[in-house]
Structure 1
Amino acid sequence: MPKMKTNRAAAKRFKRTGTGKFMRARANKSHILTKKSPQRKRRLRQGTAVDAINVRALEHMLPYL
Structure 2
Amino acid sequence: MSKATELRAKDIAGLEKEVTDLLKAHFGLRMQKATQQLGNTSQLRQTRRDIARAKTILAEKKKGAA
TM above 0.5, yes or no, is no
Question: If you compute each CA radius of gyration, which structure gives the higher value, 1 or 2?
Answer: 1
Question: TM-score w.r.t. structure 1 length?
Answer: 0.27
Which structure has more strand as a fraction of its residues? 1
Considering Cα pairs closer than 8 Å and 6+ residues apart, tell me whether 1 or 2 has the greater RCO: 2
TM score, norm. by length of structure 2: 0.27
